[in-house]
Amino acid sequence: MAESIKDKNSEIVSKRWAKALMDLVCEDSNLLKEDVIKDLQFVSDTLNSSEELSTVISNPSISTEEKQIIVCKLFQDKISTLVYNFIFALNLRKRLNIVSDIVVEFGKELDKINNLKHVNITSAIELQDEKKEKIKDQIASKLNSNVDVNWGIDEDIIAGLVFNIDEVVIDNSIRHKLEDISKIMIKG
């Protein structure tokens, strides 16, 4: 229970920081949002690349000043000034440990701005490229947005397609329809 609350709080805080960073990026027409997320990802990857470094960053007994020296040595002149200052602010607020979560949330903010939806589609068999493109176009039209499709295969669905869009599942498979019929028959 306590872990779930901690995760939810971390998610809320990460969203706030990501939104604040996106607001800053949108104010500066010289910055590309894609470059900012690359810099953020570089920071996250670097901080998580070593168990020792991760331990130091998350250790509350190590001072903010000492952590800032580490951050300076690792990232100065390697990332944009905006992202460097953002990491500096995170450190001052003792939030360096949520950089990975901020990357995820910043990516979601970027997707909103770009009107991009991520869709997972599962079929029972490998579909031809023309069929995939037609399905992708239909989904983009229905959602009125750009779509990034991740295709998967699961022979257990027998036939049909299963769509997962923003954590909403639309199961149009034969397996699902057979399960529905089975439930109706059992109720009798």
The DSSP code sequence of 87-103 is HHHHHHTT-GGGHHHHH
Q: Please give the single-letter amino acid code of residue 160.
A: G
Number of neighbouring beta carbons within 10 Å of residue 162: 19
Confidence class of residue 177 from pLDDT cuts 50, 70 and 90?
A: confident
DSSP one-letter string for the chain: -HHHHHHHHHHHHHHHHHHHHHHHHHH-TTS-HHHHHHHHHHHHHHHHS-HHHHHHHH-TTS-HHHHHHHHHHHHTTTS-HHHHHHHHHHHHTT-GGGHHHHHHHHHHHHHHHTTEEEEEEEESSPPPHHHHHHHHHHHHHHHTSEEEEEEEE-GGG-SEEEEEETTEEEEEEHHHHHHHHHHHHHH-
Q: Is 2 a residue whose pLDDT tops 60?
A: no
At 89-130, the pLDDT tens digits run: 999 999 998 999 999 999 999 999 999 999 999 998 999 999
Q: Is the pTM of this model over 0.85?
A: no
CA distances from 63 to 56, 70, 72, 94, 95 (A): 10, 11, 14, 10, 13
**What pLDDT score was predicted for residue 112?**
92
Q: What percent of the chain has pLDDT over 90?
A: 68
Confidence class of residue 4 from pLDDT cuts 50, 70 and 90?
A: low
**What pLDDT score was predicted for residue 188?**
64
Which structural domains are found in the chain, ordered by start? 2-112 (1.10.520.20), 117-187 (no CATH)
**What pLDDT score was predicted for residue 1?**
47
